[in-house]
Every structure is written in structure tokens, then in C-alpha cells.
Amino acid sequence: MELNTLTFIAIILLAALIAGKIVKQVKLPNVTGYLIIGLLIGPHCLGVITQEVIDGMNVVTQFALGCIAFSIGQQFKISFLKKVGKSPIVIGVTEGLGAVIVVDTMLLVLGFDVQFSLAMGAIASATAAASTLMIVKQYKSNGPVTNTLLPVVALDDAVALMMFGISMAIANMISASGEKSVGELLLDPCIEILGALAFGAVLGVIMVILVRFYTGRGNRLAITIMMIALTVGVSDMVGFSSLLACMALSMVFVNRSKFREKIYEPLDRMTPPIYMMFFILSGASLDVTIITSVGLAGAVYVIGRVIGKQIGAAVGARLSKAPAPVRKYLGLTLIPQEGVSIGLATVAASSFPAFGPRIRTIVLCGVVIYELVGPVITKTVLKRAGEIEEPMKAAAK
């Protein structure tokens, strides 16, 4: 008897729940467990989830990416940006740009394809907000490094989306260089990026009006889902960046509507099962048979990203005249990487099918490595910075 789609959804969610319990016992982020169990039940291991099932659930992946970008957009609330000042904003840009430049340069120098290198460099800019926040809350970290780290991480994924959009537009321009005129090659990236931002902004204004008109919680949740789906669907049809469009939708809404809390809170409660399925499907897509063939590129990505983050954060801290501990330690707290990077890898893989399996495998392996060692390094660095108290000292107060 052949299983249907709803049965596979039940299996995926059950696997996610089991994985979440297991990783909790060993104090690892949930996303790590989702990726690992997804790999185990995927087509390249046990085969419970086949490639046909993964392809058939593409709508889940696309909607999850839209929700991630929409959630990121709320970090661009003008009042928040004014409150944190220039230092986190400058560092957020330079540390993301540092990872892009270092990974791009290393891969290109070693002779890897330009499109592949640009895609990997762009993905390298993303950082995991959840893992970092977990460490800060668990150990009650406080001080200049922590106070700079939190807004940097909050803004990081938005910066990553922007850099990814620009990098992918350039990569697409290069791949089409033999088919289009110079004018078209220069115009296409502008259309993809600026068109996405303009389209998302227009829909954001419409969403503000709709949320004002419809007052029920159910109606407002329906409006949110509708607007995200509309943004992603139309963007894909006309060639806009759906991630940037969803981010712009949220940016406009969060700054223009007084009902923002009534939109983001219900969405945050609704999306965990969607994210669970997204990460399980991402793990299932990991082809372990090609890991050995991407060894050098994977090592460059994992190591180059850390180096780039460290250099970029130090440069940004110096430019913004941040305190000495921030210049010294902040870069090493930006190692964790999870949700957004996986989403970007999915988009890059679909844009460049020839490199798709390699991109997914490198990024997913990198996420597992970063999520295993990143939180430990973050804790150690914050402790060295004097922002995590020893248990006995804390108890004595």
C-alpha cells in the first residue's frame, strides 16, 4: 500500500518531535536533530522519505522560506535601529561582508566555478540567532560584547538576505552572459533586487490596510498567510527575489501598523511545525555519497566563513569605535548557523541545478558542525570576556 502526502507529513512531524527530545538530552539545538534525523529517513539512507516526496513538498519549503524572511523583516523597525545605535549596524554589515569576501576569494583562487563560489560566499554571511540567544539566556550573559552581539545577530540575517540577493543576481548575470546583451545583463540584477523590494513594499502597505479593516485574530492570521504566499508566488513567477520581497513586506508592515504584535505573535505560534518539516526535508536532501567529493570546498566554506566573520566583526567594531572587548571577542560568537543558511542553500540549489547537491551538502554539513561547536565557543568567549559569571560567584551575590 502506497502512503499518501498526509501520511508522510505525519511521519515527518513525528520524526521532528522525536529528534527534538533526543537533542534536548545532549543540549544541542533542535535544528541539528531535525537535520540528522531527516538525513537518516531520507532517500540516501533508510529511504522512508523518497526524493519524489521531497519534490512533492516543495510548497512547504517555499512557504517556510517566506515565513523566515517575513520574520527577519520585523528586525528593521526604525525605533529599534535608533535604539541600538550605529555600532551593531556597522558590525552587522562588515561581519557579513567579511564572510562573503573571504569565502568567495578562497574558492575562486582554488579554481572553483564562479557561480558556485558566489552562491557559497553569500550563504556564508548568515548567522544563527536562535543558538546565540539560547546561550545568552541560559547563562545570563551581560556586558558590552553581549549587548552588541544581540542586535548584530538580529540584523545579520537581513543583511545576509540582501547580500545573497546581490550575489545571486551577479551569478545569474554571469551564467547568462552568452545569451543576453550587456544592457540586459546590467538590468536584470536591478530588476530582481529593486523589483522585489518595491513589490514587497507595495504589498506591505496593502497588508497594513487589510489588518486595520479585519479585526479578528483568525482573519488577521489568514491575511498574513495570504500575503506571504502571494509575495512568494508572484515573485517566483516574475523573477523577483522572493526572500527580499517578503522581507520588504514585513519591513513596511512593522513600521506602518500599530497592530504588528497581533500579527507576529500568532504567526510565531503557527510556524514551528512548518519549520520542522522544512528542516527534516532539508536533512533528507543531504546526499552523503558526495561528501568526499566536496571535501576541499566544504573545508574552505567552514574555515573561511569563521575567518571572514572574525575579520569583518573586528573591522566593523574599530570603524564604529566599539569597546575593546567587542573588537577582540565578538567575531567568535558569530559561528553558529542554521535556518536562514539552509533556506538560502535551497534557493541557490534550485537556481543552479548543476551545483545543487554540492551546495546543499556543504551547507548542511557546515550547519551540523557549526551547531555542534558554535554554542560551546560562544559560551567560552563570553566567559573569557567576563560576561558569564562563575556559578559560585553568582550564588554569592
Write out pLDDT tens, residues 202-241: 999 999 999 998 988 889 999 999 999 999 999 888 878 7
- Tell me which of 147 and 49 has the higher pLDDT: 49
Task: Tell me the pLDDT band of 395, cut-offs 50, 70 and 90.
Answer: very low
Q: Out of 34-43, 175-184, 218-227, 271-280, pick the least confident.
A: 175-184
Q: Out of 64-78, 130-144, 334-348, pick the least confident.
A: 130-144
pLDDT at 392 exceeding the cut of 60: no
What would the grid cell of residue 32 be? Answer: 541539528
Q: Out of 2-16, 253-267, 351-365, pick the least confident.
A: 351-365
If you average pLDDT over every residue of the chain, what do you get? 81
Torsion of CA 171, 117, 361, 314, to 10 degrees: -120
Position 294 scores a pLDDT of 65
DSSP codes, 74-139? GGG-HHHHHHH-HHHHHHHHHHHHHHHHHHHHHHHHTT--HHHHHHHHHHHT---HHHHHHHHHHH
Task: Tell me the pLDDT band of 201, cut-offs 50, 70 and 90.
Answer: very high
What is the mean pLDDT of the segment spanning 333-356? 77
Position 345 scores a pLDDT of 82
- Looking at the domain covering 5-386, what would its CATH class be? mainly alpha
**Whole-number percent of the chain with pLDDT over 90:** 14
Give the dihedral sign, CA 272/2/347/344: positive
Q: Are 114 and 360 in contact (CB under 8 A)?
A: no
- Tell me which of 188 and 267 has the higher pLDDT: 267
What is the mean pLDDT of the segment spanning 58-65? 85
Q: Are 228 and 246 in contact (CB under 8 A)?
A: yes
Within 8 A by CB and 6+ apart from 120, the residues are 103, 104, 107, 297, 301, 359, 362, 363
Position 366 scores a pLDDT of 80
Break the chain into its structural domains and give their ranges.
5-386
What would the grid cell of residue 393 be? Answer: 560567584
Task: Collapse the DSSP code of 56 into the 3-class scheme (helix H, G, I; strand E, B; otherwise coil) and give the result.
Answer: helix
- Tell me which of 365 and 248 has the higher pLDDT: 248
Position 225 scores a pLDDT of 94
User: How many other C-beta atoms are found inside a 10 Å radius of the C-beta of residue 330?
Assistant: 29
Position 133 scores a pLDDT of 59
Task: Tell me the pLDDT band of 394, cut-offs 50, 70 and 90.
Answer: very low
Position 396 scores a pLDDT of 47
- C-alpha span between 281 and 264 (Å, rounded): 25
- C-alpha span between 381 and 141 (Å, rounded): 11
Torsion of CA 301, 306, 311, 317, to 10 degrees: 130
Write out pLDDT tens, residues 14-45: 999 998 888 888 777 677 788 788 888 888 88
Position 364 scores a pLDDT of 77
Helices (H), the chain: 5-25, 30-41, 51-56, 58-73, 78-84, 86-109, 114-124, 129-139, 144-175, 182-213, 217-238, 242-256, 261-270, 272-284, 295-319, 324-329, 339-351, 356-384, 391-396
- C-alpha span between 124 and 363 (Å, rounded): 9
Position 338 scores a pLDDT of 67
- Of the ranges 33-47, 81-95, 131-145, 375-389, the best mean pLDDT one: 33-47
Position 34 scores a pLDDT of 84
